[in-house]
Chain A
Amino acid sequence: MALDDDEGGETEEDDTVEGEEEEEIQEDNDDDAEEGIHDPFETHFANPPKLYLQAVEAAKRNEWSTIKTIQPAGNVGKISISVPAIEDPRLTSHTQYVGKKVLKSILELKLKPRLRTPECGLIHPLQLALAPIIFSYTDLYISTRTHKNAPQLRHLYALHALNHIYKTRDRVLKNNAKLAKIAAIASDDKNSITEPPDLRDQGFTRPKILIILPTRNAALEVIRTIADLAQPEQQENRKRLNEQFGLPAGAEDPLINSNKPEDFKALFAGNHDDGFRIGIKFTRKTIKYFSSFYNSDIILASPLGLKLAIGASEDEAAFANEGKARKKNKNQKQDYDFLSSIEVCIVDHADAMRMQNWEHLEFCMKHINLIPRSLHDTDFSRVREWCLDSHSSYFRQTILLSSFQAPEFNSFQSAYMRNALAGRISTRPSTFPGQPLKHLSCLGGITQIFHRFSSQTPLQDPDARFDFFVKTILPTYILSPRAPSKGILIFIPNFFDFLRVRNHFAHTIATPISFGSISEHTSLSSIARARTHFANGRYRILLYSGRAHHYRRYVIKGTREVWFYGVPEELGAYEEVGAFLAIGDEGKERVSRKVASVFSKWEGLAVERVVGSERVGVMVQGKGDVFEFL
């Protein structure tokens, strides 16, 4: 989980050798013909319409007007379109238009001609439905990412990122040439004081795109997709890339032949280290990996890797260093200037990051688009107006791809998707079928019970839940004489809840009970012991944490009854843990098997995925506290 030692070099690699602009300015007139007024790059970044100030003000006040509709194409599902609440109808109509549009021809995307290769083809219905949104620089929050459509989505955003970089770089190079020409004329003719034209085409620093990914392997896949699309003549540091982001040469991925679920294999394939960052620099003919951040166009990083690159804030550093040697403070100077001019931020596989440490991601997001702290050789005469006005964060396109909706992602959306000009669009499946544990129907007789408890606010939820569990569920069901004498598995999604319940079992309960516990911090030998004892009945109860399941996906034998301390956000976890009932002592005895869950009204999203859209309303809002499915 920590950074490798070799990581140090990644950002320190220096490009100082390279000249001002390494490329020759080719007079390929490819853009002039295309860059019309309808090019989103033009209208969003280069020459935003005047009303943007109004829109930014509305976004600052967090006033949005939202409409909801359905996009049947590509199974996108329900979409909700939000734009800053201002009088002008142009914003709304445009965002609605891209929200409902399905791409008919690749020409509509205003791609750089260089990118219009056969490889760039977007063919999947999902790509065609999402392309107009992504390419219009609208914020996007998708909750329908799966391991199956992930490559399609990756292809789509890689193409978008590349297109954005090309447009930005070409504009900068063209303007460089223009200015050089003017300077040449001025030096020839000293008398004429020509005022330099006001060419504004850049931000404070070079990096324009930030892609946040959970693992090194995911980064490698994105980089490969980009390289395939760009087809550069040369890739610098390619070998180092494969060494650091792939598996060691000759090593075989142990996951290939395992019988773990597919989504698990997709996430943990290859090098699944979660502390990395890498800058990529584009020139006309080459791609350079491991370029220093200030010379990079794209930065790929994991939340942890990026957080370490930014460094702890002074306060935190002071706190951490209390009593330690002073000189360390010096090294820990914070630097987030390289994130000051990010124009497109893509967070792929957010649900995996939720399991890593969501706070790291929030930390990184807070440091994007801030005013830089030092000059970094920025040419201020070419920094765009809205950048100078500190409005960058209202121009940034933020894309969040996740497999489901969770409170964390929703709050991410409201906090960091502040795109004032193009608005934001979020999607979710139209309906959830909600046939829980259908795949176990062959067993017959699985009872699913949902106990609702009341909690006033999300903040009070953990306390209320613990109270309810300890005072009602434990004595009535789990510790009652009627409960099974062994094989009770308690699945606890949140680690803090897990600790609380475990401590309760270990210290508070009057009559000692035999129980084991498995969390992501438990040692392998302890896990093995706990599993064995649970399977043979020496442990009556097993506590199993949500993150332990996410990272290990154990199949736990000897389970007769499953209790969900909270409904897991991942539908997969519910099904996989529920399926523990189907294994083990089959055929010996057909006792009634039970899957019971505790939930509150704040878990509506998770409950909906389990029981289906039709039933969730009654369960969350309606009368009665116990719901049973047969």
Chain B
Amino acid sequence: MSAVLKKRKITHEPSGGLAILAKKKKGGKKVKSVVVDGEKRKKGRSEVGKVKEKKAKKVGLDVEEEEEAGENQRLESKEGEQPAVGGVGVEGVKEVQEVQEAKKEKSERKMVKKAEEDEKGGKGEEGKEGERDDEKSHSKGGKEDQDQESDPLQTPPEFPQPQKTFADLGIMPSLIEACTNLGYKAPTPIQAESIPLALSGRDLIALAETGSGKTAAFALPILQSLWDSPRPLFACILAPTRELAFQIAEAFDALGGGIGVKTAVIVGGMDMVTQSMALGKRPHIIVATPGRLLDHLENTKGFSLRTLKYLVMDEADKLLDLDFGPSIDKILKVIPKDRRTYLFSATMTSKVEKLQRASLTNPLRVKVSSSKYQTVKTLLQYYILCPHKHKDTYLVYFVNEFAGQSIIIFTRTVNETQRLSFLLRLLGFSAVPLHGQLSQSARLGALTKFKSGARNILVATDVAARGLDIPHVDCILNYDLAQDSKTYIHRVGRTARAGRAGKSISLSTQYDVELLMRIEAALGKKLPEFPTEKETVLLFSERVEETQREAVKQMKEMAEKGNRRGGGRSGGMGGKGRGKRGRGDDDREEE
């Protein structure tokens, strides 16, 4: 254990990790207080309907019991309808969507119900119908309230009232203590919903935005169950990125440290032997990326997951989106069928459904948001239309405008990432690149620098967009527009986390307008244009153009160096990956 822990601590300051968690939690509370005003009324009403309902189910959050067959049908209908929601006026769309959603849910529910009817009486169904109607009406009401506010985008999650405590959820005292020490005062909605269900021993599919306390939502039930029957190799958490894996492990260490939980992080880019040693010590919890875990399952003698009790997939859609599919299939083959499985994700794809069929038994679905594409209220989203020629100038203008704030700039390619960080650095901004061709340590290093504030501009490809909890991001600049709306949501989800304010500005050139419109359609609203004066912006252009040439020169130098040495660090950018892939790949789209 110590070996792994040490390793982790070298790259991630442990206190930093804790602080992040603590902040997240505190923020979670804040969200509630922010939202409360517009919501209390309907809450009160809905509460009445809910009480009648079955205990496990809560109003405002869809907690549905699903049979597998019902699930499939439902999925098809949903997927079919989604694209139909086009780029019309904001409010109209919203209305339509709401109604459609409600209707759809109702009809689905009926289908499900039919399947269930033999077992349960019609009584339950009636109750549910009633609840549904209730919900529909007050979500409309809520809508009007929101329209008065600056960002009427989302149907905000509704929180159970009065606020629950961890004890109410059935968490045992020693874990509550750990939560308190970390500054978790009360459960976030996703925790409040999923923990009791998890403790009751069901499989879960949980959909929640990033930054909503998902990690603790699965960590707490697992730790509690581990406490009841301690045994090695108890749970395995799969994550799509190495950074996320470290973050999850930190959370487990922080929550489970008090009860003596041993965790091991198994990710690529690290020494196999050291990891084998960590596995040899039979940790309780393994946090892994699928590829390396499979590598160990196949090559490390004496390591198996035959006794595994819990499998969690965090960012489950991502795990399937990427090339992880085959690895996951293989992993699923060697772990016992008799286990609990939790899928956690911000978005749901059809592949998750497939996986669900493959590996979940009788799962419950927990959602804390009804809209598929949803951003938080505290996020101000803008776009700016600029000529392609002056893209860099506009970027520099914004960076200059927001100087001193922490900014993440998203680009489409690795090459752009590096060029922009050179450009910004030459102009005197402290920028650091983060992309998939950096070595593992360079990635962690870049992230640490950004988190600690040593650099306040992170230039990243979409690898950084998912799952990372970086507190205090004030501004997101989409240098290249996101290729699809889901990516967009993930990108802007890096800021305005946990109740804090934040803004995002998307640079749209004449070529990207269509893309922008598609995103707006998916969001269900038009983005306002960021107010700028063209003259002011173009004041920068001369200086920027000059620097562009210098940046390109530096790029070339670095590429040559990379070719010559086949790797090694240059200009603060670890280039280990380059040796392997060659620089022709640089223009390749990341992901």
Chain A residues packing against B (C-beta within 8 Å):
193, 195, 198, 371-375, 377-383, 385, 388-390
Q: Contact: A374 with B302, CB < 8 Å? A: no
Per the bound structure, the CA–CA distance linking A69 and B281 in Å amounts to 41
Q: A371-B274, A373-B273, A375-B273 are in contact. Are A388 and B280 (CB under 8 A)?
A: yes
List residues of chain A with CB within 8 A of the CB of B487: none
List residues of chain A with CB within 8 A of the CB of B273: 371-375
Q: Contact: B300 with A388, CB < 8 Å? A: no
List residues of chain B with CB within 8 A of the CB of A198: 282
**B103 smallest CB distance to A (angstroms):** 46
Q: Which of B276-290 contact A (CB under 8 A)?
A: 276-282
List residues of chain A with CB within 8 A of the CB of B282: 198, 381
Q: From B280, which residue of chain A is reached at the shortest CB distance?
A: A380
Q: Contact: A380 with B301, CB < 8 Å? A: yes
**A213 smallest CB distance to B (angstroms):** 30
- Knowing that A195-B307, A378-B302 are A-B contacts, what are 11 other residue pairs whose CB atoms are under 8 Å apart, sorted by A's residue number? A371-B274, A371-B277, A372-B273, A375-B299, A375-B301, A379-B301, A380-B280, A381-B280, A388-B278, A388-B281, A390-B3
List residues of chain A with CB within 8 A of the CB of B299: 375
B85 in the interface, Cβ–Cβ < 8 Å?
Answer: no
Per the bound structure, the CA–CA distance linking A349 and B91 in Å amounts to 92
Our pick among B272, B277, B301, B303 for the contact of A388 (Cβ within 8 Å) is B277
Q: Contact: A380 with B279, CB < 8 Å? A: yes
List residues of chain B with CB within 8 A of the CB of A373: 273
List residues of chain A with CB within 8 A of the CB of B302: 378-383
Chain B residues packing against A (C-beta within 8 Å):
2-3, 231, 272-274, 276-282, 299-303, 306-307, 336, 338
List residues of chain B with CB within 8 A of the CB of A383: 277, 280, 302
Per the bound structure, the CA–CA distance linking A385 and B276 in Å amounts to 13
Per the bound structure, the CA–CA distance linking A416 and B114 in Å amounts to 76
Per the bound structure, the CA–CA distance linking A377 and B231 in Å amounts to 25
Could you show 24 A-B contacts with beta carbons less than 8 Å apart?
A193-B307, A193-B336, A195-B231, A195-B307, A371-B273, A371-B274, A371-B277, A375-B272, A375-B301, A378-B302, A379-B301, A380-B276, A380-B279, A380-B300, A380-B303, A381-B282, A381-B303, A383-B280, A388-B3, A388-B277, A388-B278, A388-B281, A389-B3, A390-B3
**A429 smallest CB distance to B (angstroms):** 43
Q: Contact: A389 with B336, CB < 8 Å? A: no
Per the bound structure, the CA–CA distance linking A372 and B282 in Å amounts to 19
Per the bound structure, the CA–CA distance linking A377 and B274 in Å amounts to 14
List residues of chain B with CB within 8 A of the CB of A385: 281
Per the bound structure, the CA–CA distance linking A195 and B234 in Å amounts to 12
Per the bound structure, the CA–CA distance linking A381 and B274 in Å amounts to 14
The 8 A-B pairs of least Cβ separation, nearest first, read A381-B302, A380-B280, A379-B302, A379-B301, A380-B302, A388-B277, A380-B276, A388-B280
Q: Contact: B3 with A375, CB < 8 Å? A: no
Per the bound structure, the CA–CA distance linking A375 and B2 in Å amounts to 19
Q: Contact: A375 with B303, CB < 8 Å? A: no
Per the bound structure, the CA–CA distance linking A248 and B437 in Å amounts to 61
List residues of chain B with CB within 8 A of the CB of A389: 2-3, 281
List residues of chain B with CB within 8 A of the CB of A388: 3, 277-278, 280-281
Per the bound structure, the CA–CA distance linking A316 and B338 in Å amounts to 54
Per the bound structure, the CA–CA distance linking A372 and B272 in Å amounts to 10
Per the bound structure, the CA–CA distance linking A372 and B277 in Å amounts to 10
Per the bound structure, the CA–CA distance linking A378 and B275 in Å amounts to 13
**B43 smallest CB distance to A (angstroms):** 46
List residues of chain B with CB within 8 A of the CB of A379: 301-302
**B512 smallest CB distance to A (angstroms):** 48
Per the bound structure, the CA–CA distance linking A378 and B300 in Å amounts to 7
Q: Contact: B306 with A193, CB < 8 Å? A: yes
Per the bound structure, the CA–CA distance linking A377 and B280 in Å amounts to 13
List residues of chain B with CB within 8 A of the CB of A380: 276-277, 279-280, 300-303
Per the bound structure, the CA–CA distance linking A195 and B279 in Å amounts to 16
Q: Contact: B300 with A375, CB < 8 Å? A: yes
Per the bound structure, the CA–CA distance linking A383 and B303 in Å amounts to 11
**B6 smallest CB distance to A (angstroms):** 10
Q: From A372, which residue of chain B is reached at the shortest CB distance?
A: B273
Per the bound structure, the CA–CA distance linking A377 and B3 in Å amounts to 20
List residues of chain A with CB within 8 A of the CB of B276: 375, 378, 380
List residues of chain B with CB within 8 A of the CB of A193: 306-307, 336, 338
Per the bound structure, the CA–CA distance linking A372 and B307 in Å amounts to 27
Q: From A195, which residue of chain B is reached at the shortest CB distance?
A: B307
Interface centre among B274, B281, B301, B306 (most CB of A within 10 A): B301
**B181 smallest CB distance to A (angstroms):** 26
**A31 smallest CB distance to B (angstroms):** 24
List residues of chain B with CB within 8 A of the CB of A377: 301
Per the bound structure, the CA–CA distance linking A172 and B281 in Å amounts to 18
Per the bound structure, the CA–CA distance linking A374 and B274 in Å amounts to 9
Per the bound structure, the CA–CA distance linking A193 and B306 in Å amounts to 8
Per the bound structure, the CA–CA distance linking A374 and B277 in Å amounts to 11
Per the bound structure, the CA–CA distance linking A382 and B336 in Å amounts to 22
**A212 smallest CB distance to B (angstroms):** 26
**B57 smallest CB distance to A (angstroms):** 33
List residues of chain A with CB within 8 A of the CB of B306: 193
List residues of chain B with CB within 8 A of the CB of A372: 273
List residues of chain B with CB within 8 A of the CB of A378: 276, 301-302
List residues of chain A with CB within 8 A of the CB of B300: 375, 380
Per the bound structure, the CA–CA distance linking A389 and B273 in Å amounts to 12
Per the bound structure, the CA–CA distance linking A374 and B300 in Å amounts to 11
**B469 smallest CB distance to A (angstroms):** 31
List residues of chain A with CB within 8 A of the CB of B307: 193, 195
**A55 smallest CB distance to B (angstroms):** 16
List residues of chain A with CB within 8 A of the CB of B277: 371, 380, 383, 388, 390
Q: From B2, which residue of chain A is reached at the shortest CB distance?
A: A389
**B2 smallest CB distance to A (angstroms):** 6
Per the bound structure, the CA–CA distance linking A378 and B301 in Å amounts to 6
Per the bound structure, the CA–CA distance linking A552 and B301 in Å amounts to 53
**A48 smallest CB distance to B (angstroms):** 15
Per the bound structure, the CA–CA distance linking A193 and B301 in Å amounts to 19
**A179 smallest CB distance to B (angstroms):** 10
Q: From B232, which residue of chain A is reached at the shortest CB distance?
A: A198
Per the bound structure, the CA–CA distance linking A550 and B323 in Å amounts to 68
List residues of chain A with CB within 8 A of the CB of B301: 375, 377-381
Q: From A380, which residue of chain B is reached at the shortest CB distance?
A: B280
List residues of chain A with CB within 8 A of the CB of B3: 388-390
Per the bound structure, the CA–CA distance linking A382 and B277 in Å amounts to 11
**A36 smallest CB distance to B (angstroms):** 28
Per the bound structure, the CA–CA distance linking A372 and B273 in Å amounts to 7
Q: From B276, which residue of chain A is reached at the shortest CB distance?
A: A380
Per the bound structure, the CA–CA distance linking A540 and B92 in Å amounts to 116
Per the bound structure, the CA–CA distance linking A378 and B280 in Å amounts to 10
**A329 smallest CB distance to B (angstroms):** 14
List residues of chain B with CB within 8 A of the CB of A374: 272-273
Interface centre among B231, B272, B281, B336 (most CB of A within 10 A): B281
Per the bound structure, the CA–CA distance linking A605 and B503 in Å amounts to 77
Q: From A373, which residue of chain B is reached at the shortest CB distance?
A: B273
Interface centre among B3, B279, B302 (most CB of A within 10 A): B302
**A570 smallest CB distance to B (angstroms):** 44
**B566 smallest CB distance to A (angstroms):** 12
**A50 smallest CB distance to B (angstroms):** 15
**B299 smallest CB distance to A (angstroms):** 6
Per the bound structure, the CA–CA distance linking A61 and B103 in Å amounts to 71
Per the bound structure, the CA–CA distance linking A231 and B272 in Å amounts to 41
Per the bound structure, the CA–CA distance linking A375 and B296 in Å amounts to 10
